[in-house]
Amino acid sequence: MDSESQTRIAAEDYLDALGAHGIDHLFCNPGTDFAPIVEAFARAARTNRKVPRPMVIPHENAALSMAHGYTMVTGRPQAVMLHTNVGTANSINMLIDASRDRVPVLLTSGRTPFTESGASGSRSAYIHWAQEMYDQAGMLREVVKWDYEMKRGDQAATVVDRALELAMASPKGPVYLSLPREVLGEVVDTPAESNRAHRARPHAPVPSASDIEQLAEWIAMARAPVVITSLLGQDPRDAVVLSRLAERWALPVIPYNTRYFAISANHPMFQGSMPGPLLDDADLVIVIESDVPWMPSKEAPRSGARIVQIGEDPLYGRYPMRSFPSDLTITASALSVLEALEQALQDRAGVHIDERRARLVARSQKLHAQWRDEADRAGRGDKNTLTWLNHCLREVVDRDTIVINEYSFRQEYCPLESPGSLFGVSSAGGLGWGFGASLGAKLAAPQRQVLSVLGDGAYMFANPTACHYVAQMQNLPVLTVIYNNALYNAVRRATLDMYGEGVAAQGDGRLLADLPAPNFEKIVAAHDGHGERVERPADLPAALRRASAAVRSGQQALVNVICPP
């Protein structure tokens, strides 16, 4: 027996367990609680054991959004380790985003040593007393599916099994594990190989035959159906089947606040991103994976319309209040419902299908003409606009590009073609996600161009220095395009919406919303990146092309597009 196997510590078992579960990365922001993890990584490097690759990410939100980005591209959960209560607290914004969008991640953090002296790993730094909490997981329990504190060193493998089986069970989501330093440092026996208990994982739910029959019947009879989606496309196969169904059955699709690619804007059944116009007339509203399918304070389906709610958790059991009506509620994965519907509809004839198709194709052509006109007009204007920015993105977006959207991307002006090519900020709207997610996506798909389109506010929430640093140090050249309206426009809109006749409206709702438009392009330059500031519409296409060329040659790039409101 060599000296290392005599002193094998629990942290080694723990890293082995992560490796055995196919976790490629441990995104870390370390502290004094990490000593056994550092030792275990050092030992693993000497023995070539399969363990995750540790990466230091200099802000916790960036670490978590990177894990999110990696998983949304690969489907495989990753692990994050942060420093005790303080590091964990810093990450909760991104944890809420992941939680609401059902992205599995194993979030872990050290727990300050519980022994004041006497054990290996006992408290040895001033902070170790003040960092202790009565219930460290309490601050995030509401947004994880499971939390646990490892109690003994010999638990490492079973605890990781348990964490990941729950993270991956439908509906997926983050889980949390705290790791006391003494426990990670415990000396454990050399593990017997392959003593792992077999644990078959459950599949996502599938629909009942009778529900599918009912829905197929309603689709066949409907005069004006509409499909509203938000999370559909999380599994890229969803979009392939939806596209076929929409084509065959003349089903208009509205990806409303979509976080994934559900359908291409070039598909004739893509009917814009707002449900309002079609909702007024619809007699069948099929909501697939959408927590908020319309804004009830402003619009609603007409009375008598049949409403169907479909999703892995169609009641959104973790949302305190949600009261969208439903005539048929199906707990099942989007893919299983779409595939079953395709089968069930095969032998039916649609009553209004020809009329429906003619009407929707004409509507689509009209919408496309409008969007083109808007873009033409925007290009002739004297200032950049959201429309022009999106239209110009066509210069650099190809079929292989991954687009990350934190507010400002619109397929209407820059249609995408490929399932798995679009990812948007969570329905929780915790800003600061996009930049880190783009780094995670690039790590997952190094051969693809990754473009994130961010508001200036969203960019600043991402701790941009930390993200540019990661792009540089980890060689992750991503393209960041900032829609810089020098404003928290969402804040301004909310003020004007509620107090349009109020005193705040006299200042155009800008109180607490106005921002300066700093030279963000100089921040990327500080990290050896390519940065450009674009004031005039005519200069934008070439600037984007230069930035994309820089990215393709391995340099991160940022285009600061000044879009005065």
Question: Can you give the binding site for ligand TPP, defined by CB under 6 A?
Answer: 93, 407, 429-432, 455-458, 461, 485, 487-491
Nearer to ligand TPP, 444 or 458 (CB): 458
**Residue closest to 310 by CA, chosen among 325, 323, 329:** 329
Which neighbouring-strand residues pair with 452? 404, 480
CA distance 179 to 217: 53
SS3 content of the chain, % helix, strand, coil (to 5): 40, 15, 40
Q: How far is the CB of 468 from ligand TPP (least distance, A)?
A: 17
Nearer to ligand TPP, 336 or 480 (CB): 480
The 3-state secondary structure of 212-224, one letter per residue = HHHHHHHHHHCCC
DSSP conformation letters of 7-18? T-BHHHHHHHHH
Q: How far is the CB of 97 from ligand TPP (least distance, A)?
A: 9
Q: How far is the CB of 497 from ligand TPP (least distance, A)?
A: 13
CA distance 239 to 266: 13
Asked if residue 171 has a cis previous peptide bond (ω within 30° of 0), the answer is yes
- Structure tokens given for 470: 């990661």
- Number of neighbours of residue 469 by Cβ within 10 angstroms: 18
Nearer to ligand TPP, 203 or 493 (CB): 493
- Structure tokens given for 443: 């790590």
- Structural Rg of the chain based on CA atoms: 25
Q: How far is the CB of 498 from ligand TPP (least distance, A)?
A: 15
Q: How far is the CB of 100 from ligand TPP (least distance, A)?
A: 12
Q: Say if residue 328 is exposed, middle or buried (CB neighbours under 10 Å; 0-12, 13-18, 19+).
A: middle
Pairing of strands 450-455, 306-311: unpaired
Q: How far is the CB of 396 from ligand TPP (least distance, A)?
A: 21
Nearer to ligand TPP, 51 or 458 (CB): 458
Q: How far is the CB of 425 from ligand TPP (least distance, A)?
A: 9
- Structure tokens given for 438: 């783009």
